[in-house]
Amino acid sequence: MVKIVTDGAIMCCTLGTWQAKLTVLSQSFRSISGALVATEEDEIGLINIPSFGVCKCSSPNPPCIPQPQGWQQTTQKDSINGMLIKL
């Protein structure tokens, strides 16, 4: 069964120290169980994707600043205002 990502989805980074919640800002009218559906546009670090705490990539450990490279899984044809839905 396909699972669609919605606002508040818990995310983590393998180099971060804590989890964070996705904030959907790309659209404001499609929801599932009261949570907005995420699209491929909800990928902006420190806006849609908050910090994961402290980054363990180097020493001393700098604050995490997410730098997403685009979602790996989206729908192939289903979209909201032309934006593919995040799976």
Summarised one tens digit per residue, pLDDT across range 45-68 is 999 999 999 999 988 999 999 999
Asked whether the beta carbons of 21 and 28 are under 8 A apart, the reply is no
DSSP assignment of 7-31: TT-EE--TT-SS-EE----S-SS-E
Tens-digit pLDDT profile for residues 4-51: 999 999 999 999 999 999 999 999 999 999 999 999 999 999 999 999
Asked whether the beta carbons of 49 and 12 are under 8 A apart, the reply is no
Asked whether the beta carbons of 48 and 22 are under 8 A apart, the reply is yes
Q: CA-to-CA distance for 70 and 7, rounded, in angstroms?
A: 17
Q: Which two tokens stand for residue 8?
A: 């508040």
Asked whether the beta carbons of 44 and 23 are under 8 A apart, the reply is no
User: What is the rounded end-to-end Cα distance, in angstroms, of the chain?
Assistant: 11
pTM value?
0.90
